[in-house]
Amino acid sequence: MNRRQAILASGATILAAPAVRAQGAAWPDREITILVAYGAGGSTDVCTRALAGEAEKILGVPVQIVNRTGGQGTSAPAQVATMRPDGHTLATAGMAALAILPHVLDLPYTLDSFTFLPGYARYLYGIAVPAESPIRTAQDLIAQGRQRRVTFAAAGAPQNVGMFELNKKLNTRFGFVPFPGGAEAVTAAIGRHVDFVAQNPPEMLPALKSGRLRLIASASDVRWKEYPDVQTLREQGVDLAVDSVLGLVGPKGIPQDRLERLNSALLQAARSTGVGETVSRFGMVPAPVPSADFEAMQRRAFAEFGPHLRENGLARR
Amino acid sequence: MAWNARLVAIASLAFAALAGWEAARLPAWSQFDGPGPGLLPQILAALIAVAAIGVLVAPGTGEPEGGNASPLRSRGFLGYAGAMVGVGLALPYLGFGVTGFLATLLVLRVAEGAGWGLALFWSFTLVIAVTLVFGTALGVPFPPGPVERLLAPLGLVRLG
Amino acid sequence: MMEGLLHGFAVLMTVQNVTLCILGAVLGTLVGVLPGLGPATTIALLLPISLKLDPTGAIILLAGIYYGVAYGGTITSVLMRIPGEASSVVTCIDGHAMAKRGRAGAALGIAAIGSFIAGTFGILGVMLLSPPLAEIVIAFGPWEYAALMLAGLSLIAFFAASGIAKAALMAFLGLFLGLVGLDPISGTPRFTFGVPALVDGVNIAPLALGLFGLSELLFLALSKDAKPEILRPPSTMLGFMPNREEWKRSAAPIARGSVLGFFVGLLPGGGAVLASFLSYAVEKRLTRHPDEFGKGAIEGVAGPESANNSGTAGAFIPLLTLGIPANAVTALLLGALLVHGVQPGPMILERQPELYWGVIASMYFGNFILLVLNLPFVGLFVRALEVPRRYMATAILLICAIGTWSVGLNHFDVLMAVVFGFVGFALRRGGFDLGPLVLAYVLGPTLERSLRQALLIADGDVTEVVNHPIALGFLAAAALILLSGMVMRRRPAVVQDGGS
């Protein structure tokens, strides 16, 4: 599939070459590779492929995907940090790789190892309880959390860090029970093995729709489009919003003119309807975030998460 | 077999010691009233040691699988073992084409005692066949060696 | 129900879908036969192409691969003692021993037919019992899983032909190997020594390929024969098929394997592997020929292979109804479903009936195609055994090399496979059984995680387990299994090398 794409695109480029050369050899002149930090078929992979497809049309060169899994999302950024900063190799990077895992693992990179590019997809989070639970609103949850230990299932950060923040601010006792994946966490909640679950929409929707779970709040900045009547935590008076944006990074030192070209092309691609549709299918929100904002977001999260992770025994030091 | 089993048992004891030492650096109990990352590894290191001692005591009798003769005296074994080690070390640097070719050649000449003609022929054929099936047809990314770098622009192989 | 199924067949019977089903099955078999290239890699490679298809077609293709791999894995297990995947490890024991006795065809034939029957049973189970079975998955919490894993580990008692100390050592080592990687609860890296490839744990592909495939290579190298020695190879075509006696002895194991495998495969976390080991243990316990186990007992192939396949079908239930993937492959299938806009969950029957029934129909059809494909070629496959060692062994070496590389594209995996090759060689020379190591390695992580989750929820209170009857039941089963295994070793019919 990549071969065919490459051949077609090279053919098109060869035909267009005379015109391009007339303009003065614009960049990019050959294919761009994006390393995807998760396996093929996953949400990150498919959304990035959609983005790559759009970016191809704008940049006029093939944008190919290579899956570089492992290290819970860090191997792709780790590899790209070591590559030549010519703008031809990029990697996906999300909150896990940039803001959370640097506190937990010994990684060969820091936030300063990268040039930041735009973000394109935002993960939504929600809090749901089993249908039989007496908890109906976020305030109920906080009240319960102050009285007794309330356990919650989640696949990991950033939702658990959010709950830790609440523990600190509001004196609640939310106990985190980790599960290997979102679906397992949701099932644990359905089976009433834990008191509530904090996960993403795709994993929670089937149980919510069939009535086994009840959504009490959206944990993000916005309400879920499938449940527009369920308020966010902030709207219910709880000062927490769990935000996680997926974006691209490149090695530090990409030349300014190439960087601008990439930024504008990727931002445009992130705004396209094709990407928007694909992103929504995975229960995410399209998030064309300019690179400067994306970088600021990740740096802020990195600074905030450190203390919480340490206090809860999840960080190295 | 007893000798071999005892050897494994001693190696396991050494492993248990190293594992236990490394595991001791992890907290055995977490701050949340439950086992920490170190508890199970520490317990297992102890259990491995106990089981290893049990094997030392009762290593079993009979002929070891593959016969009593020492493998280190067998040309066949040395040839294949050498090829395996060579592949393990060189694959990411020399790529599949070169490594596979040399490994097959080594095996055929040293372990199988084949003539140069047959050895060269089969080495070429096998490497080409595997590259075509895995690399071209199935699109598996290949280690970036000299041969792969030549083939990649032709679209026959993906570099990984 | 019947209209649903008929509707499903109608969906299936388009030129596109039938082609995809067959393509998937064939590709899956090929992938299963080629060691190292697991189903996950193939499905991942095909995923972009599948995006061009409609959802039903894509799932049919990918599900076909999933099924085909189980069949293909059997072939290498029997012929070369190389497990195509973790659940084929058990087949390597008696299946390969049968091949050495010249009964490779019978082993492959029984495996194919047993798999078909079990697969059909499993699909029936999925069709009829999905809603109630989903409830079972939901009822399983951390305590229940921990107890189930302990019960699974106690099966080691049935793989202790070489002595309890040896089996225990293998099990403990396997458990330890399973711990390498990030701690499931605190995320702390354990025993990774800064190697990125170990952060996700010791990968099963280099482990299995090394322990089984490369060690087998070293044993082949050691033997004086330039050609693999087969005693009494069959002379006629029919000789490649199971004979009457073998059919008779296989009937009950296939039935038991189908049922056991289905229910065990239902539970995420070790499903098909646990199913095959469990079936082996059960057959060993119930057989009239216990001394043949390990030397080529047909029950040791019929049972596990059937359990394997119905387990594969069972794994679809949590996938389709709860969106829980049982293993890496079903995780990919889940991703594929999501990509195509399909929301797995209890509503899938109502919201996307044509996809649901289309997939079920394709499972029947795929199973049937695999049977039709495999049986006639059995004779051909068995001929592969007669290829002179120099060609077969070098081919195995090279295929294992690229297979191991394809997993993570890093050096460490390849080195690890080679190291495990030598380790496997040393272990087998010492008379150690590799089965317990693999079983422990697969079950260990889930055991630790579940136990710690349970304690987290109970605030460190171990006595909480008494409130969980299912868990208590499994603990009792574990004790029974251990006892049963020990008692069995005292039977006069069983001759042991080096006692316990």
Q: Determine what percent of chain C is predicted with pLDDT higher than 70.
A: 88
Buried b / exposed e across A147-166, counting CB within 10 Å, b at 16+?
Answer: eeebbbbbbbbbbbbbbbbb
Q: Cβ of B80 under 8 Å from any chain C Cβ?
A: yes
Give CA–CA dist A257/A267, Å, rounded.
15
Torsion of CA C201, C204, C206, C209, to 10 degrees: 160
A94 plus A41 within the same structural domain: yes
Q: Is residue A242 pLDDT above 70, yes or no? A: yes
What pLDDT does C416 receive? 94
Give CA–CA dist A5/A8, Å, rounded.
5
> For C37-43, what is the mean pLDDT?
63
Supply the Cα-derived Rg of chain B in whole angstroms. 23
The beta-strand segments (E) located in A252-299 are 284-289
pLDDT, chain C, mean: 82
CB distance C58 to C355 below 8 Å: no
Residue with tokens 């050899």: A25
Give CA–CA dist C436/C442, Å, rounded.
10
Angle at alpha carbon of residue C31, lines to C43 and C15, rounded to 5°: 65
Residues on chain B touching C394 (C-beta within 8 angstroms): 103-104, 107-108, 122, 126
Chain B residue with the nearest C-alpha to that of C222: B77
A144 plus A78 within the same structural domain: no
Which among C185, C197, C325 has the least Cβ separation from residue A70? C197
Residues on chain C touching B18 (C-beta within 8 angstroms): none
What pLDDT does B64 receive? 83
Distance from CA of A3 to the nearest CA of B (A): 6
- Residue A135 falls within a domain, yes or no? yes
Cα torsion angle, B107, B112, B113, B116, sign: negative
What pLDDT does C42 receive? 66
Q: Cβ of A40 under 8 Å from any chain B Cβ?
A: no
Distance from CA of C74 to the nearest CA of B (A): 20
| Domains: count for chain A | 2
What pLDDT does C37 receive? 60
Which among A101, A89, A110 has a CA at the least distance from the CA of A251?
Answer: A89
A154 plus A72 within the same structural domain: no
Q: Is residue C16 pLDDT above 70, yes or no? A: yes
pLDDT category, C39, cuts 50, 70, 90? low
Q: Is residue A139 pLDDT above 80, yes or no? A: yes
Residue with tokens 């020990």: C486
Neighbours of A186 (CB within 10 A): 32
Which among A40, A187, A193 has the least Cβ separation from residue C47? A40
Q: Cβ of B66 under 8 Å from any chain C Cβ?
A: yes
Q: Is residue A123 pLDDT above 60, yes or no? A: yes
Domain residue limits, chain B:
2-57, 71-159
Distance from CA of A290 to the nearest CA of C (A): 26
Chain C residue with the nearest C-alpha to that of B5: C430
C42, C43, C45, C47: best to mutate for the A interface, most A CBs within 10 A: C47
Angle at alpha carbon of residue B29, lines to B24 and B34, rounded to 5°: 145
Residues on chain C touching B143 (C-beta within 8 angstroms): 405, 409
What pLDDT does C494 receive? 44
Strand partners, A170: none
CB pairs under 8 A between A and B: 11
Residues on chain B touching A3 (C-beta within 8 angstroms): 155
CB contact under 8 A, C401 and B103: yes
**Looking at the predicted complex, does its ipTM rise above 0.90?**
yes
Distance from CA of A186 to the nearest CA of C (A): 9
- Residue A228 falls within a domain, yes or no? no
Which among B65, B99, B143 has the least Cβ separation from residue C428? B65
Which among A2, A175, A313 has the least Cβ separation from residue B30? A313
CATH assignment of the domain containing A154: 3.40.190.10
- Residue A232 falls within a domain, yes or no? no
What pLDDT does C163 receive? 84
Q: Is residue C233 pLDDT above 70, yes or no? A: no
The last residue of a domain, from among A162, A184, A218: A218
Q: Is residue C475 pLDDT above 90, yes or no? A: yes
Tell me the CA distances in angstroms from C456 to A150, A168, C27, C185, one per residue in order.
11, 19, 44, 9
Which among C45, C35, C48 has a CA at the least distance from the CA of C65?
Answer: C45
pLDDT, chain B, mean: 89
What pLDDT does C227 receive? 60
Q: Between C42 and C70, where is the model more confident?
A: C70
Neighbours of C114 (CB within 10 A): 29
Residues on chain A touching B158 (C-beta within 8 angstroms): 2
What pLDDT does C500 receive? 36
- Strands A114-123, A244-251: pairing kind: antiparallel
Q: Is residue A197 pLDDT above 50, yes or no? A: yes
Residues on chain A touching C345 (C-beta within 8 angstroms): 205-207, 209-210
Q: What is the DSSP letter of C81?
A: S
Give CA–CA dist C372/C115, Å, rounded.
12
- Residue A234 falls within a domain, yes or no? no
Q: Is residue C456 pLDDT above 50, yes or no? A: yes
CB pairs under 8 A between A and C: 134
A7 plus A109 within the same structural domain: yes
CB pairs under 8 A between B and C: 235
Q: What string of DSSP letters covers A218-256?
A: E-SSS--SS-TTSPBTTTTT------EEEEEEEETT--H
A178 plus A274 within the same structural domain: no
CB distance C56 to C333 below 8 Å: no
C421 Cβ partners below 8 Å, 6+ apart? B84, C210, C211, C213, C214, C215, C217, C218
pLDDT category, A23, cuts 50, 70, 90? very low
What pLDDT does A65 receive? 86
CB contact under 8 A, A313 and B155: no
Structure tokens at B152: 């990649």
pLDDT category, C491, cuts 50, 70, 90? low
Strand partners, B158: B141
Q: Between C64 and A110, where is the model more confident?
A: A110
pLDDT, tens digit, for every residue of C217-229?
898 888 866 565 5
Q: Cβ of C428 under 8 Å from any chain B Cβ?
A: yes
Which among C340, C335, C24 has a CA at the least distance from the CA of A44?
Answer: C335
CB distance C237 to C471 below 8 Å: no
A195 plus A253 within the same structural domain: no
pLDDT, tens digit, for every residue of C141-162?
999 999 999 998 998 888 887 7
Which among C40, C48, C348 has the least Cβ separation from residue A1? C48
CATH assignment of the domain containing A278: 3.40.190.150
- Strands A213-218, A126-130: pairing kind: antiparallel
CA atoms within 13 A on the CB side of C457: 24
Distance from CA of B33 to the nearest CA of A (A): 11
Buried b / exposed e across A239-275, counting CB within 10 Å, b at 16+?
Answer: ebebbbbbbbbbbeebeeebbebbbebbbbbbebeeb
Residues on chain B touching A10 (C-beta within 8 angstroms): none
Tell me the CA distances in angstroms from C391 to B96, B103, B146, C63, C246, one per residue in order.
18, 13, 25, 33, 32
Which among A234, A207, A196, A206 has a CA at the least distance from the CA of A218?
Answer: A234
Q: Cβ of B125 under 8 Å from any chain A Cβ?
A: no
Q: Choose the most confident range, by mean pLDDT, from A288-292, A306-310, C104-108.
A: A288-292
C23, C227, C387, C390: best to mutate for the B interface, most B CBs within 10 A: C390
Q: Which of residues 369-398 of C touch B (CB under 8 A)?
A: 389-391, 393-395, 397-398
What pLDDT does A269 receive? 93
pLDDT category, C48, cuts 50, 70, 90? low
A25 plus A48 within the same structural domain: yes
Distance from CA of A283 to the nearest CA of B (A): 31
Distance from CA of A4 to the nearest CA of B (A): 9
A202 plus A274 within the same structural domain: no
A119 plus A248 within the same structural domain: yes
Structure tokens at C8: 């499903």
CB contact under 8 A, C457 and A193: yes
Q: Between C338 and C152, where is the model more confident?
A: C152
Distance from CA of B155 to the nearest CA of A (A): 6
Distance from CA of C40 to the nearest CA of A (A): 9
Q: Is residue C281 pLDDT above 50, yes or no? A: yes
Stretch (H or E) spanning A32 = strand A32-36
Q: Which of A68-82, A157-171, C30-44 has the lowest mean pLDDT?
A: C30-44
Stretch (H or E) spanning A196 = strand A196-199
Q: Cβ of C60 under 8 Å from any chain B Cβ?
A: no
Full domain range(s) for residue A64: 2-123+244-311
pLDDT, chain A, mean: 85
Helices A138-147, A159-170: crossing angle, 10 deg rounding: 70
Q: Cβ of B110 under 8 Å from any chain C Cβ?
A: no
Which residue type sits at C482? L
Give CA–CA dist C263/C275, Å, rounded.
8
A98 plus A165 within the same structural domain: no
Distance from CA of B151 to the nearest CA of A (A): 13
A36, A203, A282: best to mutate for the C interface, most C CBs within 10 A: A203
Q: Cβ of B63 under 8 Å from any chain A Cβ?
A: no
Chain B residue with the nearest C-alpha to that of C187: B37
pLDDT category, A308, cuts 50, 70, 90? confident
Chain A: partners with 3+ C-beta pairs within 8 Å:
B, C
> For B108-115, what is the mean pLDDT?
88
What pLDDT does A48 receive? 93
What pLDDT does C272 receive? 79
Q: Is residue A9 pLDDT above 60, yes or no? A: no
